[in-house]
Each structure stands twice: as C-alpha cells, then as structure tokens.
Amino acid sequence: MVVFRYLGIFKFNQNLKIMLRTLFIAAILIAFSTESYSQGELYNDLYKQSGNEWNLELQFTPFSSTPFSQVGIRGRKFIDSRNAWRSTLFLDYSSDSDYNLIGDEELRICSYDFNINVSAGRERHFEGTNRLSPYIGGDVLLGYGTSGSKEEILLGDDTEELESCQAVFRWGLGLVGGFDFYFAKDFYVGGELGVGLVSQHWGTEKVDYVDKGGEIDTEEIPGGSSFDFGANVLTSIRLGYLFRANAERE
C-alpha cells in the first residue's frame, strides 16, 4: 500500500516554535557582536568564508529535555566564497519506559526509536555582510530506522516478555535555505528551513502474542510505504567552526 500525504501547516507550526528559539539566540549573538565591535571593524575584518576552507558543524536541541538525543554533524568544503559541498550525518534516538502493577508484580513496558540519516548536497551563498552568510541549497537523503517495544506479562506464575520490532528505509530530495552568522572569527551560529519529499518503506513487523494455548508465538505483519511532501524546519541549533589555512588566519 502506497500512501500520499501532505505534511501541512500544523506540523510546520510545531517546528517553527522551536526554530524561533534558535533565532532568538542568534539575535542575541548578533546584538552582542554589534555592540562589541565598531562599524569599521565589522566591515574591514573577514569573519566568514573566503574560499577553500573546511567547515565542521554540530547540530543539537538545547531546549529539549534530552538535548543530545537528536544530534547532527555536518561537514562543508567551500570551493570559493559562494559555493560549498556539504554532507550531514544525523542521529535520532528516543526511548520510553513504564510499568504495570499487577498484584505485587511490577511488569515493565518499554519502547525505543532509532534513526540514522545521511545527506549530501551543495550550497550557494550570497553576499550578506561581513558576518552574515545567507544561502540556498539542495540535498539528497538516505536513511534507516528501527523501532520496537518490550512488554512483560504474567503467564501463570512466570513472567514472560513480548517483543515487537520493525525497520524502515527512506530516501528523499530537498531544497533548503538558511544562514550562518559569525559571532566571532571562524565561529558561527545558524538556522535552516526547507521543503522536500521523503519516501519511506517499512519492513515486515514482527509482533509477539499469546495464542489460545497460552504459548508465545510471533506474527509477521507486512510493511507498507509512504510518500511525504512538505515544509521542514531544522529545530536544532547549528554551531560551527571554519578551518582556514594558516596564511588566511593571520
């Protein structure tokens, strides 16, 4: 079964709230930098890329209760001051646990969700200012994920465990727009949003259950696929550093 879904305004607005927090921090850094440097220094010193630099970036969610459960690492190679190749590795892990109290027995219930995505693409940067580097770009995405759960149950006097698991493979294409703001020489904070499509293909789901004879058996449920299109906001804060040649750094 193939499902076509449009990821509409509701999901975009949820992510936008977190994105606004990122922009708020960026605004504070911009204000601080403006106060810390005179107008002459702002335009006579080069803070951002000039070409032939490597760039390493960390993406994380400091406003989350688990700020490093979603982590992205991006590398960029600036061909010149306007063009760069980019590659991103993104890891997302979450888990939850609870228990059912039956008599004196605490029966545990837990679930997990793990995703890894790799993307590669290109950016085109615009003039901006000496500190601000706005850009547009495009990415190709490949990803894999797995999710599952474990639940303890009582079978007679024994405690048994029921498990379920399913894997997913995804690919996608996207267009992005964003900015890098260099609050100090070679150090920047940034934001990004975009639009794109993602196709996901789920594998067979394996689910344990108790049959009529009181034995644990496993049912295999065929997977499906979906095709999503819509807006996306990178809710992580992007912190990066620009590696220059020694001659450039002087």
Residue boundaries of the structural domains of the chain: 2-249
Write the single-letter amino acid at 12. Answer: F
Strands 132-155 and 105-125: antiparallel
Contact 217, 183 (CB under 8 A): no
**Residue 188 near residue 242, CB atoms below 8 Å:** yes
* 9 pLDDT tier (thresholds 50, 70, 90): very low
Verdict on whether the full-model pTM lies above 0.75: yes
Residue 191 predicted with pLDDT over 70 = yes
- Three-class secondary structure of residue 34 per DSSP: helix
Mean pLDDT for 92-99 is: 91
Q: What is the pLDDT of residue 62?
A: 72
CATH 2.60.120 for the 2-249 domain, yes or no: no
pLDDT at 60: 82
Choose between 43 and 218: higher pLDDT. 218
Phi-psi region of 214 (alpha: psi -120 to 50; beta: other; left: phi over 0): left
Greater pLDDT, 56 or 25: 56
Band of residue 63 on the pLDDT scale cut at 50, 70, 90? low
Please tell me the predicted confidence (pLDDT) of residue 10.
38
Give the per-residue pLDDT at 36. Answer: 45
